[in-house]
Structure 1
Amino acid sequence: MNANNQLQQNVQFALFWEPYLEHTTIGVTAQNGIVTLSGTVDSYEKKIEIEKVVKRVRGVKALVEHLEVHHGITPESDEDLAIKALAAIQLNTSIPENDIKIVVAKGWVYLIGAVDWNYQKMAAQHAVSRIIGVKGVVNSLLIHSVTTDAIEQNAIQNALKRSSLLRNKTIQVAVDDNVVTLTGHVDSYLQKEEAERITWNAPGIWRIINHIEIQHP
């Protein structure tokens, strides 16, 4: 079995192993570490979970996702989805609701504006992605931290070293004003995302450029 077929099979087994994906048919192709998914799911939240499962599979370097959300219910109007999205944002006290604008078009929710922290950006996305009837979320929120503290390069590097998931991985951190660039090598897509997640915890970051490469031993 060649490497492409092996990766395809590994992804298929990983999806099959998840009980909440029972009765869900997902097409999987693999080519040089790039995995493409196709098919339909009954919720946007499930679509996100499928992506997480695939990213954990060893050998996946990139993911192309063509999954469509078909809820199997009478579609809600964009107006109703907008009301629910606004309520979901307002219920989460960690999200600065006054800094976020919501646009809904054909079942897709667009988040526009700026927040101080990446966790607020991700909290907003998570809040609206759980709404039944949402077909997709485009998170265009910018990170514009108001902190005047300089980004501590050594603090970021030490935080990366403390991660058990990134043990024995050498990741370089470069800081240019409010932009952090990550370089180095890891073994999986999941490790690459973990390095970025940890880096976002540093105050003052507006943008992260993740140039970490995935190399499998």
Structure 2
Amino acid sequence: MATATSVTRTDQDLRNDVLDELTWDPRVSPTGVGVIVTEGVVTLTGWVDSYAARWAAERAAHRVARVRAVANDLGVRIAPSAQRTDAEIALAAERALEWDAFVPVENLEVTVADGRVTLRGPVEWEYQRRAAERVVGRLTGVRGVSNGITVQPASRPGGDELPERIVDALVRSGATEPDRVSIQVYGDTAVVDGQVHSVTERDEVERIIWSAPGIREVHNHVTVTG
């Protein structure tokens, strides 16, 4: 069992790595960002000037090896020159979604209140749900995004062989060693357990499972061991 002294030393090293990664990412201005690390769990505090920077800071922290999880408590303060009315943001969101070939905008509903965008409606694939949030989150003046889009596949999962096909996809991508995770499929729900080396690896495993035809829900119980 690690002593309190060794944990503190490791957490301090990890904090320094996260701060360096935030400085390295040109999308993030780390001046207003605080980093707290407790037993491998990173908490981001402070303020950034856009929702896109908030998201980028979170992803930067996830990229650091040995980070077990990230709590994003960053607030968004929009500079006066970047402020937009809710009507302007709503119109920009509609246009941005229309321009994105991967997002079926005709099925989506966009609501904006105090700079915070709420997305609702069905899509066929998880990547479309994530793409919609990413596209809207990059818009000037957006303070936050609530993604209420649901995944409703047009087809059903492909029988008992689907877990094996998912494992094959993991092997092809090199996302993780296949013996580190186990996958079960119950109807249109996939459950994955196991241990991986990083949060990024965990997210990539989940992304690949979401790509399986007919999957409507993924329960990711994979833990990060560092």
TM-score w.r.t. structure 2 length?
A: 0.89
- Return 5+ residue gaps in structure 1 as ranges: none
Residue 157 of structure 2 contacts residue 187 of structure 2 at CA under 8 Å; is this kept in 1? no
**SS across alignment from 1:29:** strand
Q: Tell me which residue corresponds to 1:5.
A: 12
Residue 36 of structure 2 is aligned to residue 26 of structure 1: no
* CA deviation map 1:158-194 (0-9, x unaligned): 1112223424652111000000011110010000000
* CA deviation map 1:52-108 (0-9, x unaligned): 110011121111111122221253221211111111111223211121111111111
Structure 1 pair 149–21 and aligned structure 2 pair: CA distance change class (3 A)? closer
Q: Tell me which residue corresponds to 2:63.
A: 56
Q: Quote the Cα distance in structure 2 between the aligned partners of 1:188 and 1:16.
A: 20
Residue 169 of structure 1 contacts residue 186 of structure 1 at CA under 8 Å; is this kept in 2? no
Residue 142 of structure 2 is aligned to residue 134 of structure 1: yes
**SS across alignment from 1:27:** strand
Q: Quote the Cα distance in structure 1 between the aligned partners of 2:59 and 2:169.
A: 23
Q: Quote the Cα distance in structure 1 between the aligned partners of 2:102 and 2:204.
A: 22
- Report matched runs for 1:31-110 at 5 Å: 31-74=38-81, 75-110=83-118
- Return 5+ residue gaps in structure 2 as ranges: 1-7
The residue type equivalent to 1:77 in the other structure is T
Residue 109 of structure 1 contacts residue 137 of structure 1 at CA under 8 Å; is this kept in 2? yes
Residue 170 of structure 2 is aligned to residue 186 of structure 1: no
The residue type equivalent to 1:158 in the other structure is D
Residue 156 of structure 2 is aligned to residue 148 of structure 1: yes
**SS across alignment from 2:84:** coil
* CA deviation map 1:106-154 (0-9, x unaligned): 1111111111001111111121111100011111111110113425111
Q: Quote the Cα distance in structure 2 between the aligned partners of 1:95 and 1:21.
A: 27
Structure 1 pair 169–134 and aligned structure 2 pair: CA distance change class (3 A)? farther
Give identity over the alignment, percent.
31
The residue type equivalent to 2:22 in the other structure is L
Q: Tell me which residue corresponds to 2:4.
A: none
| Greater share of residues in helix | 2
The residue type equivalent to 1:136 in the other structure is G
- Could you say what the CA RMSD is over the residues aligned between the two structures, in angstroms? 1.7
Q: Which moved more, 1:94-103 or 1:106-115?
A: 94-103
Q: Quote the Cα distance in structure 2 between the aligned partners of 1:125 and 1:64.
A: 19
Q: How many equivalent residue pairs?
A: 216
Q: Quote the Cα distance in structure 2 between the aligned partners of 1:129 and 1:161.
A: 32
The residue type equivalent to 2:88 in the other structure is D
Structure 1 pair 154–86 and aligned structure 2 pair: CA distance change class (3 A)? same
Q: Quote the Cα distance in structure 1 between the aligned partners of 2:207 and 2:30.
A: 32
